[in-house]
Amino acid sequence: MSGKLVLVGTPIGNLGDLSPRAVEVLTVADLIACEDTRRTGRLLQLTGIPKTKLVTVNDHTEFDEIERLLGEVAAGRVVALVSDAGMPAISDPGERLVAAAADAGLQIDVVPGPTAMTSALVLSGLPSVRFCFEGFLPRKGRDRTERLAVVANEPRTTVLYEAPHRLVRTLTDLAEACGGGRKVAVARELTKMHEEMWRGTLDDAVVWAADHALGELVLVVAGASPAAAATDAELQAALSVELEAGATRRDAVDAVTEAFSVSRRHVYQLMLDL
């Protein structure tokens, strides 16, 4: 093979999910960049792949290793990039390395593999045609509050990751932001021996999670319901507020049209009636 960087998806639990192509690439790779050499070394051992040279590329070392790894690819070597589980660069290291390789004009390939994100989504029973992925929420402060508000108002299904010791708190915060009746599915230990998929409301999830905050967790939150259309009376009331604040009729119509996402012609007619 000519020099290239290859992103390789690895199992999130069940070793049987390692694809034949992934085995081939990991076998011929000159170098494997991984989060934890012990975990990747164990994967290679269990699947019978000859152990090649492993380089640690995690949140702390990725930036420092970029130049070295790109040099290996430029020299004609095959560098495989893996995470501890799933697809690299999805809430795992790799994004900066891939961006640098692309900027350098180097060849980049991917061997698709399991991801907890899509696995939980399709198992959840919630709409999956349109969805968004938020990864891990910020742990505290304004950033967390703002992100929770985004999730609460998002019409698409939202997928999040969470650690066991933060599960109850996150579900509680989601219930407060989205309303306790919002549907949610919690996937635990996907593809592993103790795999579990719980479905219900956010309020009920808080109670359930008190005794089930274990293992790898994915939250799938239903999207926000479409807002009810404003009535003509509400639109005219909004026009009156704008006029009383000193806006011209034209500016009042523009402001109400934008605020309520309705037809400008209809709002203009209501202004005339008003």
Could you report the per-residue pLDDT of 134-173, keeping only the tens digit for each? Answer: 999 999 898 999 999 999 989 999 999 999 999 999 999 9
pLDDT in tens, 22-36: 999 999 999 999 999
In terms of domains, do 102 and 124 share one?
A: no
In terms of domains, do 60 and 134 share one?
A: no
Domain assignment present for 227: no
CB neighbours of 42 closer than 8 A, spacing ≥ 6?
A: none
Taking only Cα atoms into account, the Rg of the chain, rounded to an integer number of angstroms, comes to 25
* pLDDT at residue 191, rounded to an integer: 96
* pLDDT at residue 88, rounded to an integer: 95
| CA nearest to 187, candidates 82, 112, 114 | 114
Backbone φ, ψ for residue 28 (5° rounding): -90, -10
Average of per-residue pLDDT across 9-16: 95
In terms of domains, do 104 and 125 share one?
A: no
* pLDDT at residue 51, rounded to an integer: 82
Q: With beta carbons less than 8 A apart as the criterion, state whether 54 and 37 touch.
A: yes
In terms of domains, do 206 and 256 share one?
A: no
In terms of domains, do 205 and 236 share one?
A: no
pLDDT in tens, 55-97: 999 989 999 999 999 999 999 999 999 999 999 999 889 999 9
Average of per-residue pLDDT across 253-263: 89
Question: What whole-number distance in Å separates Cα of residue 58 and Cα of residue 34?
Answer: 7
pLDDT in tens, 224-235: 987 777 889 999
Average of per-residue pLDDT across 189-210: 96
* pLDDT at residue 33, rounded to an integer: 96
In terms of domains, do 47 and 108 share one?
A: yes
In terms of domains, do 97 and 21 share one?
A: yes
In terms of domains, do 73 and 62 share one?
A: yes
The pTM (predicted TM-score) of the whole model is 0.80
**Residue 127 lies in domain:** 117-221
Last residue of a domain, one of 70, 97, 114: 114
Last residue of a domain, one of 114, 148, 177: 114
Q: With beta carbons less than 8 A apart as the criterion, state whether 147 and 141 touch.
A: no
Domain assignment present for 226: no
Domain assignment present for 189: yes
Mean pLDDT, rounded, of the chain? 94
Please state the domain count of the chain. 3
* pLDDT at residue 1, rounded to an integer: 53
* pLDDT at residue 97, rounded to an integer: 96
Percent with pLDDT over 90 in the chain: 88
Whether the pLDDT of residue 254 is over 70: the answer is yes
